[in-house]
Every structure is written in C-alpha cells, then in structure tokens.
Structure 1
C-alpha cells in the first residue's frame, strides 16, 4: 500500500542520512514527494532537502521541494524566505519571466520584509538585463522606497546612475543626494555626493555642486574622495573645474 511504501522510503532516507549517504537520503525523500504525496515528510527533512538541492545547484528539484513546503507548511515562520528562494531557483534556471512572477509573490506574502526589498531589486536587475530600462527604473524606485536597508540604498544609487547615463543630470543629482541623506551608507553616500556635484556642474548649478562637496567633506572627512572634494571646491570657486566624464549607457 502507498502509505506503507511511503513510510518505508522515509526509513531509507533517515538511515541513509545517519550513515552520511546524503545523495541516497535525498533520492529517497524526493521519491516520496513524487510518488507518495500523502506520506509524511517533516519540516526539518523538507528544509534539509531544499537546501541540499540548492547547494547542489539542482534547481528543478529544489523548486519541487520549495513548492511542497509552501503548500504544506502553513505555520512556517518565514514563508517569504521560501518564496524568495523559489524565485532564485527559477532565475538560476534562466527562466526570468517565471522568476519575476515568483519574486513579486514575496511582496504579497510580506510586503514590508527585507525579502520584499531584495525581490524588488532582483526584478529591477532582470528588467535591466532585458534592456527594459523603464521597467527597471520603476522597480529600482520601488525598492529604494521600500525600506532603509542596504539593498534599498543600492537601488537608489543605481537609479541615480541610470539617470546620469541618460543625460538627465538634474534628476541624477537629486537621486544621488537621496542616497546620502536617506541612507547614510559608508561607501555609497560619499560616492553619491561626489557624483551629485558632477551632475549639478553639468547643468551649471554651482551652488548645489558646492553644497554636495561640502557635505562630503563634513560627513566623510577621512574618505579618499574628501581631498578631491576640497580641491574641487577651490577649482569651482576659481572657475577652473574640469568635470569628470559622465557615466555612459553600456
């Protein structure tokens, strides 16, 4: 009978695991999921099996296990984590359209979680790779406004870079300043202030350019860009400043 067969395979899985024959244990558990869906495989076993296949880069098998976990473990403490991993598996398979759908489900499960911000960033990156820049910008913006995490800071920075690449220097400067003001990121904020000053100089807004550079000096005096900022302020005052090249679309 299927119930007895399922239990037998589970015993094989447990025995194999205890003997550190992880391949055979995984094979036995997967056999249960494929052939005996009513057999009991506990949460710990499923979690181990999903991670085993992820670590082995066996994405299709990992997808099967993660879907089973999402379907059956209704009290799982972080379903958004499972959903995010599921989306990553689709992305690793090269199924980017499916990945986008699965990443967006993370937002349905836990819209204010760190995984939601990560999912928005991943979707933005996929659209950028597809050369759908408008959609990419839309999702970078959503990510930037979703939290105060490093992921959101990087989304804000990337959004500013794209505006700079497009030659929209006022919008680029404004978005770079958001990185510095809203996130206070030790790496991205000084870089953002520097790039903001360059963008404002390109539209001949020397006042905003100097303000950004002075903020860089005040907030990040030991950063490598601080000395350049000090010199640049002097050059702006003397009208001898040479603006570094703008970012170009790749």
Structure 2
C-alpha cells in the first residue's frame, strides 16, 4: 500500500506529473478510505494542476480523473471531495455556468459534505458573476440564513445587496446592506456597504438617511478610500436639504483636506459661498467667493463663477462701485472672449448708471 503512495510522491517531487497522476490515482482507487487519502488527493490535484498550467488543453483529462474516482466510489467522502474540487476547478477557470452546475451537484448529492457552506456560497457567486440575479438572490438568501458564522457571510450579504440594487429593488438592497453593517461592522465589505447603502437611499429619495449614512462612513472608516468622497456627498445632501449650518461645517473640514488647485477644493469653496448666500449671510458669502477667486489660480471657470457671484451680491446690496470692480476683474480674467465681454459690458453699464445716478436693474449680467 505505502509503496504505491511513495512512488507517486517521488514522481510528484521530481515533477513527473504524468507518472505521479497514474500512481496516486491507483492508490486512491485501492484505498479510498485510507487516512492518507486526503493527502494523496492533494498531491493528485497538484500534479493535474501543474500539467494544465503548462497545457490548458489537458483540463478535460484532469477533470476526467476526478470524475472517475466519483464513479468508482459514488457515496464515499472521497467522491464528495472530488466533486467539490471539480466545481472549484471550473470556478478558477471563470467558467461560471459550469461551476454553478458542479457546485449544485455537491449541494444536492452530498448534503453532509464538509464543503457545504463553500458550495452554497460559490454557487451563488457564480450566478452573481453571470448577472443571473434571479438565481443569485435566493442562493445568497439561503446561504446567509444557514451559515451566519461563515467566513463568506459578509461577502454574501454585500453581493445580495448589490444583486437587489442592480435589479432596482432598492428597498431590499437597503435591508441587505444594513444587515451587513449591523452583523459585521469590521468586515472588509462594510465601508463599501455604507457607500452602497447611501446610494440606495438616494435612489429612494431618502436624502436625510443618505446624508447620515455618508457621515457614518467617514466617521467609522476615516482612512478608507471612500471617506473623503463620503464627506463631500454628505455635505452636498445637507445643502440640498437646506441644513446649511451643518453643510458649512462639513465643507470647511473638506476645504482643509484638498490641496491647492484641486478642483474639489474649488467646488467646496463655491458650495460654502452658496450656503452662506442661501442662509442670508451675504458678507460671509462674498468673503468665501473672494477666497474662491484667489484659490482658483489658472482655473478660469471657477474664477469667473466667483466674480459673477460677488457681482450679483453687490448689486442686490446696491454697492455699485464694488460690483463694477469685480465685474472688471472678471472681464480681465480671460477664457471665452464672449464671456469676458459680458463682464466688461456689465461693469460699464453699472459704471455709467452709477456715475449718472440712473436707476439700475439687476436682473442679470447684461442689460
């Protein structure tokens, strides 16, 4: 008995996979219940994999070796193990249709398999990768119901949520992502679950909840790649909800996170100015838009936006000389010649009207 195994091991160690497969398969056929069968199967699969790495055309032959062992001992632990390994092979080849069928064989034929949780998870993953969400959703639901302690549970909840999201069932997606966050707060999928939860809440027009979810993501995962963007989205939603004081606090935090010249920093400054303007604080709005103009550097569009906002504020306050001054700055900024001319025209119109004492109409940047 041991002689056959040792010969197979020697061939394996020497890299002679053809002879190793022959000897190791012979051992398993003679002694399928031996204590060394799992170790022998590992070596057999290792030789098969090495052959296939050099020549993928040998994949069917390698699979046939494992199927032969299943046929020889159909109700044995060896057969169950071989069936799982066949399924795993198809999955590694990204043949998800084939892998799904093979994992389903493990689930149906070998209900006592030690690989039941993996088989159920990977069957669901196959359907998920194939975008067959009508099959993925019930498969993931069965898995999370039966294997809450599995190492794959967080991934299953995440992909369940994404399956619902991709089929526009946003309420069910919210439920799945929320379950993941509650059950596995420290998993590798949790920060992404917060982000996707907020997206689903936005789809449902639950903007207050979405803003709070983004805030929790940034608070709980400050070093996560999603964190800064989450803060930005939270601030935008608070602004949209007219929670201007809260929005300004978040925008101010973000202002210090972005380097000079970063478009996001300029966007944040513009948003702060708009929040001050909407909350009836024109003086702070002007100061913020002036900071935007200074920070914009060579970014003509943001610079012009700052001058436009300041000009309109000054006009509403009847501060004509200040309005003329910022419109003239806008006219000298460059960029689109027609836009520059519109700034200069507005400045000239206000200057003429201001100097002559005429009534002014402040309905736009042109007459």
**TM bucket, shorter chain:** 0.7 to 0.9
Match in the other structure for 1:71: 111
The higher radius of gyration belongs to 2
Deviation at 1:124, TM superposition (A): 1.4
Please tell me whether the aligned partners of residues 106 and 115 of structure 1 are also in contact (alpha carbons under 8 angstroms).
no
Does 2:227 correspond to 1:189? yes
Q: Flag the 1:155–1:65 CA change in 2: closer, same or farther, 3 A.
A: same
- For normalisation by structure 1, the TM-score amounts to 0.72
> 2:321 aligns to what?
none
Aligned to 1:169: 207
What is the number of equivalent residue pairs in this alignment? 232
Please state how far the C-alpha of 1:54 moved relative to its aligned partner: 1.0
Aligned to 2:174: 137
In 1, Cα distance between equivalents of 2:231 and 2:60: 52
Change (3 A) 1:231 1:181: same
CA RMSD of aligned residues (A): 3.8
Contact 1:114 1:149 in 2 (8 A): no
Is residue 70–residue 79 contact of structure 2 (8 Å, CA) maintained in 1?
no
Shift of 1:60: 5.0
Counterpart-to-counterpart distance in 1, 2:239 and 2:141:
39
Question: Would you say the 8 A contact 1:153–1:185 is kept in 2?
Answer: no
Bigger shift: 209-218 or 58-67?
Answer: 58-67
Whole-angstrom distance in 2 between the partners of 1:164 and 1:179: 15
> Which of 1 and 2 has higher RCO (CA within 8 Å, sep 6+)?
1
Name the residue aligned to 2:29.
7
Note if 1:236 corresponds to 2:236.
no
81, 98, 106: which one aligns with 2:143: 106
Which secondary structure state, in structure 1, belongs to the residue aligned with residue 189 of structure 2?
Answer: helix
Q: 2:48 aligns with which of 13, 17, 25?
A: 17
Question: Residues 93 and 169 (structure 1 numbering): CA distance in 2 closer, same or farther, change over 3 Å?
Answer: closer
Deviations 1:28-68 (A, max 9, x none): 31344367413553787556433321123334543454353
Query: 1:41 aligns to what SS in structure 2?
Result: helix
Gaps of 5+ in 2: 1-25, 33-39, 52-57, 277-283, 290-367
In the superposition, the TM-score normalised over structure 2's length comes to 0.52
**1:248 alignment counterpart:** none
Give unpaired runs (5+ residues) of structure 1. Answer: 243-250
- Secondary structure at the aligned position of 2:136 is classed as helix
Matching residue of 1:50: 87
Matched, 1:128 2:138: no
Output the CA distance in 2 between the equivalents of 1:180 and 1:7: 57
Distance 1:195 1:45 in 2: 49
